[in-house]
Amino acid sequence: MQLHALGCDQERSTKVLRYGVISSIMLIQELKTLGMTETDKKATDAVIWRKLLTMPNINTENRFRYLTETEQDLLQGTRDVSGQMWLWVGSLIGRMAQDGDVPPMQSPTYGRILNLCQTAQASLRQVRYARCVKVPFIYVHTLATLVHVTNGLFAVSLGLALGTSLEGIMAYARTYGDTTPDPKDLKLIMPVQQVQTLLIETIKCVLAPLLYQAFFLLGCGISSPFANEDTAIPVNKMLTKLTSDLSDGEKLARNPPSWEMPAFKLV
């Protein structure tokens, strides 16, 4: 918005926005490959570099999502690609100030634009540090302990219930059909209570641990939103919407409805 309000050169404005989008793409790539082995990470990085080298049509939204060969050669091997992209943005803004495309470096407008760049760079580092240096998730650790201890107790309970209930059922089965039962077995009746106990304990001790395990996996997924595909944040969809919004904003800024486009640099 700052660049559009100053009526900056379209090519340079697009380059600034493109560097910002590339920064987001490389941050997403870094988060997705953080848990990979070095071999898998290199293969995945090679794919993303190859995609970024594909030059798009200037009229498509993908014009914000490519790199030139010179830019790739300079960036490859850099540890913090996403953060260093904003170093280029800041340098480009400084060059634009010297060329008169934006207010000079002594002006508050220039300071405001650079402050936006520093905010973006700080936000990227905050995301990376939150992913790399994670504070112990007390809830997940407590839940893990609770789930494992409870499942162990349920297993012991089910084993005892099965043993006692089956003993009663087998005692009845041994006397079933006996025409001349022993007098001491005459009081033996259908083991309804044992069957009922067997069914209830089986359902309780099987379904409850499954539910506890499901909640535990849910907590683990939430604590690592980039490591699990099922709970991953839809960053690619968000990035597509971002490029679409940038494209719409550029189109509207270049074609005002009832006034001429502003220009800080008078030609």
User: Which tens digits make up the pLDDT trace of 75-124?
Assistant: 888 888 888 899 999 999 999 999 988 999 999 999 999 999 999 988 98
Cα separation of 211 and 218, whole Å? 11
Torsion 151-154-159-162 (CA) sign: negative
Cα separation of 40 and 43, whole Å? 5
Q: Which are the contacts of 120, defined by CB distance < 8 A and separation ≥ 6?
A: 20, 23, 86, 89
Cα separation of 133 and 128, whole Å? 8
Contact present, 95 and 8 (Cβ < 8 Å): no
| pLDDT class of 133 with cuts at 50, 70, 90 | low
Mean pLDDT, residues 64-77 taken together: 88
Cα separation of 114 and 85, whole Å? 13
